[in-house]
A and B are shown apart, each in its own frame.
Chain A
Amino acid sequence: MNDSAVMWSRALTELTLSFHIVYATIGVGIPLMIMIAQWVGLKNNDEHYLLLARRWARGFVITVAIGVVTGTAIGLQLSLLWPNFMELAGQVIALPLFMETFAFFVEAIFLGLYLYTWDRFKNPKRHLLLLVPVAIGASMSAVFITIVNAFMNAPQGFDLVDGELVNIQPVLAMLNPAMPTKVAHVLVTSYMTAAFLLASIAAYRMLRGSKHVYHKKALHLLLKLGLVFSIAALIVGDFSGKYLAEYQPEKLAAAEWHFETKEDASLVLFGVLDGEEVKYAIKVPYALSVLAHNNPFAEVKGLDQFPEDEQPPLYIHYLFDVMVVIGTLLIVVAAIYVLGKWRGWKFISSKSFKRIVVAGGPLSLIAVEAGWWFAEVGRQPWILRGYMKTAEGATTSGQVDSMLILFAGLYIVLAVGSIVVLNRMFRNNPIEREIEEHQQVEGGAGQ
């Protein structure tokens, strides 16, 4: 075994995935937002919503491009960095991997069709229909790839007899116990992230002095959607806690610094760890028992139940906190907005509230990253929980460290490039100008 190759392989995989999920999450969520905006625009015959859809679609192309190329990278890196794991996974979990490529195929084809047929059909509903397979394809690729990840957390659908895999059941492997909560959580948080990111752009334009009603409509639509999806994320998050308590108690215990198995377990918020002593933390009595079993007096398994070499690192507590705190904060922001609109609060049109909404976009991305790190680091030291340790799956190649530098350079170039291009795309062509040009064309056609 080559220890440094294991370390570098983990570092490179983490780097690629951390970069990829920013664009992938956007890629899953935005098509749905485009579809909703275009549908609202057609239904109400409101040009502004159609323009929203059109402008989002243009920006979406750039993020999709990065999502596609980094997705291709991680797809191949799985085999390049974890050849032993992929050999095993290929026998049991190839089916969802394979299905993901079909979802990706459909999305790619229809995105091209959608982008290049604007105003081409006499009936605009037909054009909207092209977006349905894009949105479904994007979500289905997330579903299938998350199933693969769920399998790594809760492997099933095969038997291991004397080191040989027998009795392989591909469909059972897909329907593993981690699958429902993981898939649901990934989907709703992607939609939520997309809503808050786009809302953050609208709020930013308004802060910069744009008074156009277009931004107000965008903000209104997106924060309503944001509220729905963030509440959904909360509910699914609760189910995920129950899943962990049942099937991966060591991850929940490490996340909550729950060292000893006991009843009436309290939830630890914030705090720092000093040896085995938790300092400066807020303890919510019974909350962990409620999270784990829906019963304040239930027993929750602690880390003492697991051998030391099978415990995940304890720093995942901080990641868990970051994810939960941001999630809760965003629910509050969206709820205040929706309530405020209804009750006519002045506060929500203020600059300071808009600043909070602007922060919501980046914050939701941070929550996505923290959530993934928590989920992935939380299953250490396993690459396939209970079956294969991470160190056994890694490559033996000695050149992983130089590949890490190579890819780090690539991601810097891609990040800077995408930001510069997106910025130029929208700053040089603000909505006011586009609406004006649009009206001129319409007027010209009418004469």
Chain B
Amino acid sequence: MTLEILGISVLWIFLFGYVIVASIDFGAGFFNAYSLLIGKNHILTNIIKRYLSPVWEVTNVFLVFFFVGIVGFFPQTAFYYGTILLVPVSISLVLLAIRGSYYAFESYGARGHIGYTLTYGVAGLLIPASLSVVFAIAAGGYVDIVNGQPVLNYWTLYTSPFAWSIVVLSIAAVLYISAVFLTWYAHKAKDKEATNLMRRYALAWAVPLMVSAIGITYEMKFINPESYDNMVNLWWMFVISAVLFIITVVLIWMRKNYGLAVGLLIAQFAVAFFAYGIAQYPYLLYPYLTIYDSFTSTQMAIALVIAFILGLCLLIPSLFLLLKLFLFNKNYVTGKEDNHA
């Protein structure tokens, strides 16, 4: 394996980590706000709060890790993406800032403030929508080079069915992932009502998820034939992902083994996410930037890999401790203990 492939694989894994934890987080915020609007927040709020409170800050770090890492391993991405993404990423940043801080305000300062809860919920859906646009841009066709500087063609982007399908997919995925996870979490907390409600949401969001995923594959044919061909060659990975998806939905439908359902869900997204990533190979920004022409010096790459391995030695036990104390601790999950400072 070359250092380039190693670098992009590490970053892709962390981006995937962000997609999963952020989806749970964003979706939870939305369901919380929605349940407030339809008057069912007494069912969901406790479950959601109990999961989110100790982890809300960790979610953000996955994102920071990704964007710091990509500039480290592939410095030219700073030049291309930095120049074109000023407006879309600034908007995402403002939304992220509002959301992150409002969560702290709401949970620690003014409990039960309706305005905070709604802002938090809505921002949570707009963030994946605004961030996922980057996937569309990476696939190619929206960037022109003018006088040696990359320029984003907003009009083509905003009128592109492909970009909009990605937005729909990201929102559907967020709500589906979050609903499946919270079904399991509520079930662990022995909260029947919350389990049933989240189970219904999970089933409801499974359909738009599949429809938009198929739509994107179809549109890819016109946007970027090269990566479409790659995707066709990787058909078996998409089939595996689809099978995992079907088993997950069936398990949830039959109210069986929610824990396994969460595992399969993560596997399903992992397979699809990596298949999509591999199909883009070797481009970081089609057709201007590949992982080979933008790679950092060998010395820096080795230094980063060493730092990464040492970092993981610190990170994995810490994350394990976090999961052990909050996700797999009966007394905490069922709300028998509240040791909040």
Chain A contacts to B: CB under 8 angstroms: 54, 57-58, 61-62, 64-66, 68-73, 75-77, 79-84, 86-92, 94-95, 97-102, 104-106, 108-120, 133, 165, 168-171, 395-397, 399-400, 403, 406-407, 410, 413-414, 417-418, 420-422, 424-425
Known: A110-B318, A170-B303. A397 touches B79 (CB 8 A): no
| B58 vs chain A, min Cβ distance (A) | 5
Contact A170 B337 (CB under 8 A): no
User: How many Å lie between the Cα of A82 and that of B78 in the bound state?
Assistant: 8
Per-residue CB contact flags for chain B residues 87-130 toward chain A (1 = under 8 Å, else 0) read 10111011011101111110011100000000000000000000
| A47 vs chain B, min Cβ distance (A) | 15
Known: A75-B67, A102-B307, A406-B94. A119 touches B75 (CB 8 A): no
User: How many Å lie between the Cα of A359 and that of B280 in the bound state?
Assistant: 58
User: How many Å lie between the Cα of A23 and that of B55 in the bound state?
Assistant: 20
User: How many Å lie between the Cα of A418 and that of B57 in the bound state?
Assistant: 17
Collect the chain A residues with CB atoms within 8 Å of residue B69's CB.
98, 101
What are 23 sample pairs from A and B whose C-beta atoms fall under 8 A apart?
A54-B341, A61-B104, A62-B108, A64-B57, A64-B104, A69-B60, A72-B63, A72-B93, A90-B72, A94-B72, A97-B71, A102-B307, A112-B56, A112-B57, A115-B54, A118-B339, A118-B340, A120-B339, A170-B303, A410-B97, A418-B101, A421-B109, A424-B110
Q: Does B39 contact A (CB under 8 A)?
A: no
Collect the chain A residues with CB atoms within 8 Å of residue B315's CB.
102, 105-106, 109
Q: Does B321 contact A (CB under 8 A)?
A: yes
Contact B103 A80 (CB under 8 A): no
User: How many Å lie between the Cα of A269 and that of B337 in the bound state?
Assistant: 59
Question: What is the interface size of chain B, counting residues whose CB is below 8 A from a CB of the partner?
Answer: 70
Contact B57 A88 (CB under 8 A): no
Tell which of B86, B307, B337, B339 touches A80, judged by Cβ atoms closer than 8 Å: B86
Contact A403 B87 (CB under 8 A): yes
Contact A395 B83 (CB under 8 A): yes
Report the nearest B residue to A97, measured CB to CB.
B68
User: How many Å lie between the Cα of A118 and that of B338 in the bound state?
Assistant: 8
Nearest first, the 8 A-B pairs at minimum CB distance are A90-B75, A94-B72, A421-B109, A83-B82, A65-B104, A86-B78, A112-B54, A102-B311
User: How many Å lie between the Cα of A109 and that of B86 in the bound state?
Assistant: 30
Collect the chain A residues with CB atoms within 8 Å of residue B65's CB.
101, 105
Collect the chain B residues with CB atoms within 8 Å of residue A115's CB.
53-54, 340-341
Contact A417 B72 (CB under 8 A): no
Contact B297 A87 (CB under 8 A): no
User: How many Å lie between the Cα of A99 and that of B83 in the bound state?
Assistant: 25
Report the nearest B residue to A54, measured CB to CB.
B341
Contact B86 A400 (CB under 8 A): yes
Q: Does B2 contact A (CB under 8 A)?
A: no
Collect the chain A residues with CB atoms within 8 Å of residue B300's CB.
91-92, 94-95, 168, 170
10 more CB-based (< 8 A) A-B contacts, given A113-B321, A118-B340: A65-B57, A83-B78, A90-B72, A94-B72, A97-B71, A109-B321, A120-B337, A396-B83, A396-B149, A406-B91
Tell which of A61, A80, A414 touches B97, judged by Cβ atoms closer than 8 Å: A414
Q: Does B5 contact A (CB under 8 A)?
A: no
Q: Does B64 contact A (CB under 8 A)?
A: yes
User: How many Å lie between the Cα of A99 and that of B64 in the bound state?
Assistant: 11
Known: A90-B71, A170-B299. A113 touches B83 (CB 8 A): no
| B306 vs chain A, min Cβ distance (A) | 9
| B150 vs chain A, min Cβ distance (A) | 9
Per-residue CB contact flags for chain B residues 283-324 toward chain A (1 = under 8 Å, else 0) read 000000000000011011001100110110011001101100
Contact A80 B90 (CB under 8 A): yes
User: How many Å lie between the Cα of A397 and that of B154 in the bound state?
Assistant: 13
Contact A72 B64 (CB under 8 A): yes
| B81 vs chain A, min Cβ distance (A) | 7
Per-residue CB contact flags for chain B residues 143-179 toward chain A (1 = under 8 Å, else 0) read 0000001000000000000000000000000000000
Report the nearest A residue to B329, measured CB to CB.
A120
Collect the chain A residues with CB atoms within 8 Å of residue B63's CB.
72
User: How many Å lie between the Cα of A272 and that of B3 in the bound state?
Assistant: 57
Contact B58 A109 (CB under 8 A): yes
User: How many Å lie between the Cα of A407 and that of B90 in the bound state?
Assistant: 8
Report the nearest A residue to B55, measured CB to CB.
A112
| A137 vs chain B, min Cβ distance (A) | 9
Collect the chain B residues with CB atoms within 8 Å of residue A71's CB.
64
Contact B318 A87 (CB under 8 A): no
